[in-house]
Amino acid sequence: MDPPQDSAAPPSPPAQSGGSFGIPAMLVFASIVIIASPAMVPSCWYTRNSLSILHQVPEGHVGVYWKGGALLKTITEPGFHLKMPLVTQYEPVLVTLQTDQVRNIPCGTKGGVMINFEKIEVVNKLKKEYVYETLLNYGVNYDNTWIYDKIHHEINQFCSSHSLQQVYIDVFDQIDEKMKDALQCGCTKYAPGIEILSVRVTKPIIPERIRRNYEQMEEERTKVLISIERQKVVEKESETQKKMAIHEAEKTATVSNILREQKLKEKENAMELQEIENQMFIAHQKCLADADFYSAMKEAEANKMKLTPEFLELKFIEAIANNTKIFFGHKAGTRYGFGSKATSG
């Protein structure tokens, strides 16, 4: 009998293949695949953000994260950050100025005319410190609730309480501020992290027939304004000519007054000079009179002092001596009719 054979052959060693990997090598390979997945997977945001470990937060944004659909309180600044792939999702949220354009807003005026606002721009900003609270209550698309839907509501409210004339012309310049105040009022009360900076409302589109009527009205108003402006120009020119004539008359009157005052001044100066000369002449004549009077007084005093008996006798003798004929006797000769009469004693 042949010797009994073993019931089981010893196991052969596993075949080694050049394409097989060990467990550590497979983990490294999986990590490389996960890190490189953003470039390998087609453009699917959710897939990229779920599979990637390294991600970048752009400037002007903050990074917010969800784990299993629950919003985390973690907020990251711009730069590179790490997260758990497949477990944590990430979204960049803009925290600088952004402009939301709300298009094609139909509304009916108080008179029942349907108009359409083609575009309204809302400049807003999400405050960084309110990012978590805002996204927790209203999600990433918070502006759908508080800007897009809200602006539709406010525009319709405004149109329903105003006529077409008011909306299109009279109070159109006030719509921007009214919309801004209305949006900010709601945000301040329910979403304080949203700040409305400005609202720009474009001119609404109105029915063509009404638009043509407004154009005709504007043309007529323009003609009236042109006529009024022309009238103002004519009045201004007349007023200018009147002012020029008044100015010229005032100028002539001023020159006449100046010349008259100049002549009066010259006459006054001449009168003053004449007065001075008269005073000088009077003073001179007075001096002369005083001198003559003084001389006469002195001469009289001198004569008075001379009238002594001896001086009178001397003068008498001189007077007698000067006579050429002397008659003595009681009768004077009458033949010649002249001569001195002398009496003998």
Q: What is the SS3 assignment for 82?
A: strand
Q: How far is residue 128's CA from residue 193's CA, in Å, rounded to a whole number?
A: 8
Domain boundaries, the chain: 49-92, 94-205, 207-289
Tokens of 158: 């405004």
Cα 27-33-37 angle, rounded to 5 deg: 150
Residue 19 has pLDDT above 90, yes or no: no
Instruction: For residue 296, count CB atoms less than 10 angstroms from its CB and return exposed for 0-12, middle for 13-18, buried for 19 or more.
Output: exposed
More confident residue, 14 or 316: 316
pLDDT tens-digit readout, 170-212: 999 999 999 999 999 999 999 999 999 999 999 999 898 888 8
Residue 28 has pLDDT above 70, yes or no: no
The class level of CATH for 94-205 reads alpha beta
pLDDT tens-digit readout, 202-261: 999 989 888 888 888 888 888 898 989 999 999 989 989 998 999 899 989 999 889 989
Measured CA distances, 29 to 21, 180, 334, 345 (Å): 10, 55, 197, 200
